[in-house]
Chain A
């Protein structure tokens, strides 16, 4: 795969301290995965077994295999999510197959949003979304602890005001 860690686009020169996201995010996504695929597998097995014979019931293994693969893929994806606050910009890195590193200068931030849906609240998570004047800017961090999300929001807003620049 990647030859050296130095060739990883998710690294950034001059950044030592990366912060990961909460483990609750992985738990939430795995719960969702199982909650979606397990009933499908059960329904397939229960319907096809009596109706079409036990051979056909093995089709139920497909959602199970998907769930097993997803279980691992989610862990990899979760581990790849990182962010770092630097003096003048925020860095967000993520992705396993499609890797991506986003750099947003504080002065460009128009708005910082913290959201937390009912499911996220159950897992003690919040999500921070940054908006710049460019709609293509894709800067969000899912799976932060609510206190950390609020701290980040306040800090970003403060830094954004201090370094604010027009269009």
Chain B
């Protein structure tokens, strides 16, 4: 067989083609579960002879496809970009500009850890999803990540590949016990658990069929998994470390993830304070990083005491003090209760020298902070009902496709905030750090 021209660049690890092998299996399994009768008939037709014949045809085909797709995939690091070439029939070359890279994660799913491979995920501004290199050998993944970050930081290209992993200093490590307690103190995990214990028996009793009860249970169990056990597994052994190429976040029990957020790429910070955590002074810190891929925000700290959160944030965004921002928050005026009864008390807004801050929520408080230098545009909006009471909302859009809203301010204040914010964002940008932070 004549092999097609192999694209230039380095290759991935040979296990690469198998990374999607589970998808057809899962589809087959889902089919069998949905239609058990036909699956049973199908299994009866499957005599050993046919099985062997089928495998004899299928296996070489799969192997050939796998080999070719591996053969046609390569990556190349140039001075300014990372090029990833993929595709057998439909060729695709992704050019990723290194100065637009927001974060680089090294992910090690359970199976990949057993084989000793890892995947590299890149967050790039302006792309919806993360581009990934799956899989590389672990050593190669770490080296490539270091090289990409060094080049993105503007280091001399010749030395970039030799610098290796920059040294890091651990800032925080979340104890497993703290994590367990924090998850137990979340209302949502108990709520879903209660729902699992109450709803399926009720449905079973009402409909008189076991199937209906089971069908209801499965999504509920999914909720319990996401809220409790699944979160424990992903947030296990959470550590945040500081290194010259950014803040390192390591976590996971089965799937180890290793993310690096370069300094200055954080667009907004959100501090979540569930009701039952408040007495202990615990908070959860989430980051909005540009190009985050729209899969929710990135967690910086799953649970930490307030002072620790402040110290870590200080490292990421110098001058950012969430508790100073919290202290300047002012609640919405009293007439806001006509617009949003009861919950109006949860809204607060304030501005410090460095950030635009806004809080919402009564039971679970969420404090959002946007550094002035990251504000892309400012909007003031007012609906008809708000106009009756002379209230307006101020929205601040930041580069991570997010918006932080200060709701229910008086019109005079909203206008003043918008005018001042435009001014602050302009002067804030002058003092912002350079794009290539090592030059």
Closest residue of B by beta carbon distance from A164:
B429
A3–B388 Cα gap in the complex (Å)? 9
A13–B380 Cα gap in the complex (Å)? 13
Among B376, B403, B411, the one with the most A-chain Cβ atoms within 10 Å of its Cβ is B376
| Residue B414 CB within 8 A of the other chain | yes
Q: Given A88, A101, A133, A139, which contacts B125 in the complex, CB threshold below 8 Å?
A: A133
B336 to chain A, nearest CB (A): 15
A166 to chain B, nearest CB (A): 4
A9 to chain B, nearest CB (A): 5
A90–B251 Cα gap in the complex (Å)? 44
A9 touches B415 (CB 8 A): yes
A1 touches B377 (CB 8 A): no
Closest residue of A by beta carbon distance from B414:
A9
| Residue A51 CB within 8 A of the other chain | no
| Residue B161 CB within 8 A of the other chain | no
User: Interface size bucket, A side?
Assistant: 35 or more
Query: Per-residue CB proximity of A112-146 to B under 8 Å, as 1/0?
Result: 00000000000000000000111111110000000
Q: Given A97, A98, A101, A134, which contacts B418 in the complex, CB threshold below 8 Å?
A: A101
A100–B403 Cα gap in the complex (Å)? 15
**Number of cross-chain contacts by CB at 8 Å:** 112
B376 touches A88 (CB 8 A): no
For the complex, would chain B's binding face be called helix, strand, loop or mixed by DSSP majority? Answer: mixed
Contacts of B402 in A (CB 8 A): 134, 136
Contacts of A103 in B (CB 8 A): 377-379, 418, 421-422
Q: Given A98-B383, A136-B397, are A12 and B419 also a contact pair (CB < 8 Å)?
A: yes
| Residue B265 CB within 8 A of the other chain | yes
A104 touches B377 (CB 8 A): yes
Contacts of A3 in B (CB 8 A): 390
Contacts of A2 in B (CB 8 A): 387
Q: Which residues of A contact B (CB under 8 A)?
A: 1-3, 6-9, 11-14, 88-89, 95, 97-105, 107-108, 132-139, 163, 165-167
Contacts A1-B387, A103-B377, A105-B426 known; list 11 others, CB within 8 Å.
A7-B412, A9-B380, A11-B415, A89-B426, A98-B383, A100-B380, A101-B380, A103-B421, A133-B290, A165-B429, A166-B432
Q: Which residues of B contact A (CB under 8 A)?
A: 125-126, 265, 267, 290, 373-384, 387, 390, 392, 395, 397-403, 411-412, 414-416, 418-419, 421-422, 425-426, 429, 432, 434-435
